[in-house]
Amino acid sequence: KPSIVWFRDDLRIRDNPALRAAVDDGAAVALYILDEESPGIRPLGGAARWWLHHSLTALQDDLAALGVPLLFRRGSAAPIVQEITTAIGAGALFWNRRYGVAERTVDAGIKTWARDAGMHVESFQASLLHEPWEVTPKTGGQYKVFTPFWRTVLAQDFRDPLAVPDEGRGYAGTLPANDELESWHLLPTTPDWSAGLREAWTPGSAAGHQRLKEFVAGGLTNYDEGRNRPDIDGSSCLSPYLRWGELSPFEVWHTLASNRSESTSIFASELGWREFCWHQYFHNPDLATANLRKEFDRFPWAWPDSEGHETAVEELRAWQRGRTGFPLVDAGQRQLWQVGWMHNRVRMIAASFLVKNLGIHWQLGEQWFWDTLVDADPASNPANWQWVAGSGADASPFFRIFNPEAQRIKFDPQGKYIARWIPEFGTPDYPEEIVDLKTTRQDALAAYKELKEVH
C-alpha cells in the first residue's frame, strides 16, 4: 500500500523524518494543503504567500527527482486528508509535528480518524530542537526566562540531520484530482508588488543551503559585532528558510558544531530565541492577541480610530510607509516593504518607536509585520513584539526606549543603510519628524509609572 507524507512547515527533502519514513515504507505520495478554513488557523500574510508559492514549486521539483508526486489541495485539512488517503488506498500517513494549538487540534483529529481506519500514523520532531512539553522547569509548566530555558535545551543531545532519502519506489497508481498551484493566487498581480522580493530572495531549500554555506564561510566569524549593523551583510538572512522549514534547525546546528567560536555561540543562542518563541507560543496560543503580563491590559495604548486617538491613524500609516521623519525607522520600514525582511536591530527600533513614541498598540505592529515579512512566523513575530512592548516573557523592560537617532549614529555610522533605503533623505521631499522624541518618551514613561503604581 502507498503512504502519504503530509508537508506543512517543513518544505524540504533533507533532514525530513516524515519524508524519510514514507519513502522507506514504499511508494509515497506527498500532499500540501493550504488550510485557511480550520478553526483558529491564522491566514498567511501577503509576503508569506509569495514565498510559499515559490517554495512549493521548488519542493515539487525536489520531490519529483525522488519519484514522489506532490499534490496540492486547498481547504479544511481533515476532510482533504481523508479523501486523499481513501482515494489512493494509503496504508500509512506521516508528518512532522507542528506546535500551534489550532494545528495540533487538526492533527489530533486526523490521527484518531486514521488509526480508527486501521492506518499506520506517525509524527516526527523536525521543526524545533526541543519539544515544548519535554523541556520544562523542575516546578513544571513553562519556561518564562530565556537563559535557564536555553541551558536546559542545550543539555539535550540533538540528533544528526538525516540525508536525502534515496529515490523511492515510485507511485504507479492514478493520482486523485488536485489543484494547480497557480489557482491559489498566492502571487500578487494587481498590483504586482513583488519585484523587490524577487530580486532579494530565492525561496527553496537549495537556496537556503547555499546561504548557510556562504554565511558560515563569511559573516559568521564576525557575527558577534556584524549582527548589529544594518549597513553590512552581518547576519545570516536565514530566517525565511527556517520559517518555512526549507532548512532544518538540526542542519544549521550541525553546521555550527564544526565551527566553534564566540560568534558561533552567539549565533546559536539566536536559534535558541527562535526555540524560546515557539516554547512561549506552544504554552500561550493567544500570544498574538493577549499580553503575557496581564498588567499591560490596562496600558493606555492608542488603538487608531478609537475615541481620542484619531491622530494615531495618520501616525500608523506614516510608520507603515516609512514616512515618520526618523530615518532609521523609515529605512527599516521601507526595507520591509520592498524586500519583505528587516534587519533585527532595526525591527527592535521600529517596533519600539511604534509602541513607545507613537503609543500605538503592539498588536497593530505585529499585524503589519505579519503581512509584510517573508519570515512572518506565528511564534517569533508576536513573541518579539511582546518582548519590545515589555508585555512578554523575559521582555525588554518597558522603560528601555530606543532613541532612533542615537541608534542611527551608532549602528549606521556612515549613513549607508539610510542612503540605500531613503533616496530622498536630506532633500525637502523627506518628511518632517511626526512626533517629538523627548515628550513622547516622557509620556510613555509616565503612563508606565501609573500602571506600576496602580498595580
Binding site for ligand FAD (CB under 6 A): 227, 235-239, 242-243, 270-271, 273-274, 277, 344, 347-348, 351, 369, 373, 375-377, 380-381, 384-385, 388
Closer to ligand FAD by Cβ: residue 90 or 238? 238
Confirm if 44 and 50 have CB atoms less than 8 A apart.
Answer: no
| 383 CB-near residues (< 8 Å, 6+ apart) | 276, 277, 280, 281, 287, 392, 393
CB of 317 to ligand FAD, least distance (A): 19
Closer to ligand FAD by Cβ: residue 31 or 216? 216
CB of 391 to ligand FAD, least distance (A): 13
Cα distances from 349 to residues 57, 82, 230, 408, in angstroms, run: 35, 47, 12, 10
Closer to ligand FAD by Cβ: residue 4 or 374? 374
- Rounded to an integer, what distance in angstroms lies between the CA atom of residue 243 and that of residue 80? 24
If you search the block for the grid coordinates 523536525, which residue do you land on? 126
CB of 46 to ligand FAD, least distance (A): 14
Q: Where are the beta strands (DSSP E) in 159-252?
A: none
CB of 379 to ligand FAD, least distance (A): 8
Confirm if 366 and 385 have CB atoms less than 8 A apart.
Answer: yes
Closer to ligand FAD by Cβ: residue 178 or 265? 265
CB of 407 to ligand FAD, least distance (A): 13
Closer to ligand FAD by Cβ: residue 385 or 417? 385
Give the dihedral of Cα atoms 327, 330, 332, 334; nearest 10 deg.
-130
Which pairs from 392-399 meet CB under 8 Å and 24+ separation? Answer: 392/280, 392/291, 392/292, 392/293, 393/143, 393/144, 393/145, 393/146, 393/276, 393/280, 393/292, 394/144, 394/145, 394/146, 394/276, 395/292, 395/293, 396/348, 398/356, 398/444, 398/448, 399/445, 399/448
CB of 218 to ligand FAD, least distance (A): 12
Closer to ligand FAD by Cβ: residue 72 or 387? 387
Q: Which residues pair with 33 in a beta bridge?
A: 73
Closer to ligand FAD by Cβ: residue 165 or 359? 359
Concatenating the DSSP letter of every residue in 8-36 gives: SS---STT-HHHHHHHHHSSEEEEEEE--
CB of 140 to ligand FAD, least distance (A): 25
Closer to ligand FAD by Cβ: residue 72 or 301? 301
Q: How many whole angstroms from its chain centre is CA 316?
A: 23
If you search the block for the grid coordinates 516524515, which residue do you land on? 18
CB of 365 to ligand FAD, least distance (A): 7
Note the helical H segments in 95-187. 101-116, 146-154
Cβ-based neighbour number of residue 226 at 10 Å: 17
Q: If you count DSSP H runs as helices and E runs as strands, how many of each does the chain have, helices first?
A: 19, 5
**Dihedral sign computed on CA atoms, order 71, 72, 78, 82:** negative
- Exposure of 441 in the CB half-sphere (CA atoms within 13 A): 9
Closer to ligand FAD by Cβ: residue 178 or 344? 344
CB of 29 to ligand FAD, least distance (A): 31
CB of 185 to ligand FAD, least distance (A): 23
If you search the block for the grid coordinates 536525502, which residue do you land on? 164
Concatenating the DSSP letter of every residue in 307-346 gives: TT-THHHHHHHHHHHT-SS-HHHHHHHHHHHHHS---HHH
Note the helical H segments in 236-310. 239-243, 249-257, 262-283
CB of 231 to ligand FAD, least distance (A): 14
Closer to ligand FAD by Cβ: residue 45 or 168? 45
- Rounded to an integer, what distance in angstroms lies between the CA atom of residue 25 and that of residue 12? 18
CB of 179 to ligand FAD, least distance (A): 27
Closer to ligand FAD by Cβ: residue 315 or 375? 375
Cell of 45: 500574510
